[in-house]
A and B are shown apart, each in its own frame.
Chain A
Amino acid sequence: GENVEQHPSTLSVQEGDSAVIKCTYSDSASNYFPWYKQELGKRPQLIIDIRSNVGEKKDQRIAVTLNKTAKHFSLHITETQPEDSAVYFCAAVNTGFQKLVFGTGTRLLVSP
């Protein structure tokens, strides 16, 4: 089955810096890769996603890149703000089976 590894587990940056979170997956049949942000005590919120026919996607300060050959994908946050502080989860999905396989999460702390 699918296995997703996520690094780092914690990431501390200064406001205005960039943050990068990396994930690798094992199942080459996975074709959909969402990223979720979970603030303390709240539900996971989808922040960006990418499909296997796309190499990069950007939405304002957030971008995701996908390397299908190497089976890894990354989340990039530029100009970080304190409100970006949260736990970020990557996930991989084989849309034939629909279950999200999550990475173990990255706790991002942005200091003012």
Chain B
Amino acid sequence: EAGVTQSPTHLIKTRGQQATLRCSPISGHTSVYWYQQALGLGLQFLLWYDEGEERNRGNFPPRFSGRQFPNYSSELNVNALELEDSALYLCASSLGSGEEETQYFGPGTRLLVL
């Protein structure tokens, strides 16, 4: 069974540009989560999507947004990139709220903002 996949593996942007990161959950999982892991820091919760709806959001500005598609894959968009957005962005998936809480992580997208 394939795990959570993410693309691209690396992304280089300049300040002010937009970045789009993609995630495909484990087959059968309906919930997708996004986390930011800045260098030397822990993992910070960004967004949770389930059944196409945004269910919860972390303490990040509105320029961090996303969506979940009918096939449960997800996109994270970061607008007006700032230098401090440079980080590893991790996607995780789970079976869905109320069923199984365990979250499984993808390999991440490393975003570098110059």
- Residues of A whose CB lies within 8 Å of any CB of B are 32, 34, 36, 42-46, 49, 89, 93, 95, 97-105
| B90 touching A95, Cβ below 8 Å | no
Residue of A nearest to B110 (CB): A41
Contacts of A44 in B (CB 8 A): 43, 90, 105
Report B72-114 CB contacts with A as 1/0, cut-off 8 Å. 0000000000000000001010100110011111111000000
| B48 touching A89, Cβ below 8 Å | no
Size bracket of the B interface = 20 to 34
How distant is A98 from chain B, measured CB to nearest CB, in Å? 5
Q: How far is the CA of A98 from the CA of B29 in the complex (A)?
A: 14
Q: How far is the CA of A104 from the CA of B107 in the complex (A)?
A: 19
- Residues of B whose CB lies within 8 Å of any CB of A are 31, 33, 35, 41-45, 48, 50, 55-56, 58, 90, 92, 94, 97-98, 101-108
Contacts of B58 in A (CB 8 A): 99
| B105 touching A99, Cβ below 8 Å | no
| A98 touching B102, Cβ below 8 Å | no
Q: How far is the CA of A26 from the CA of B64 in the complex (A)?
A: 27
